Amino acid sequence: MNLDPPHGWTQNTSEPKTWFKRFEFDEYGKLRAFLDSLAALAEETQLHPDNIGFGRDYVNITIETAETTEENKKLADFARRLDELSKGM
């Protein structure tokens, strides 16, 4: 079962189904702090993005959705927490 992505995330419905978001920053230091916070969140939750790509002022994150609603709820919470982290930068 699939859930709609959290607000601001886009959904790819072809296989594998994923959620995607691009985070933009006005300076590299903020981007680096976001990546460090993302790593800490991943360790805390034991959830990890499937793909992270970044440049000087952006981070692209892709999360592959799960088979069950319960797992997708955890992924949605992880995505929302990433959104909150990015606002603090």
CA distance 72 to 21: 16
pTM: 0.91
Strand partners, 18: 12, 64
- pLDDT interval class at 2 (50, 70, 90): low
Check residue 66 and give its pLDDT: 87
3-state secondary structure labels for all residues of the chain: CCCCCCCCCEEECCCCCEEEEEEECCCHHHHHHHHHHHHHHHHHHCCCCCEEEECCCEEEEEEECCCCHHHHHHHHHHHHHHHHHHHCC
pLDDT digits (tens, 9 = 90+) for 29-47: 999 999 999 999 999 999 9
CA distance 26 to 69: 36
Return the CATH number of the domain spanning residue range 1-46+66-89. Answer: 3.30.1360
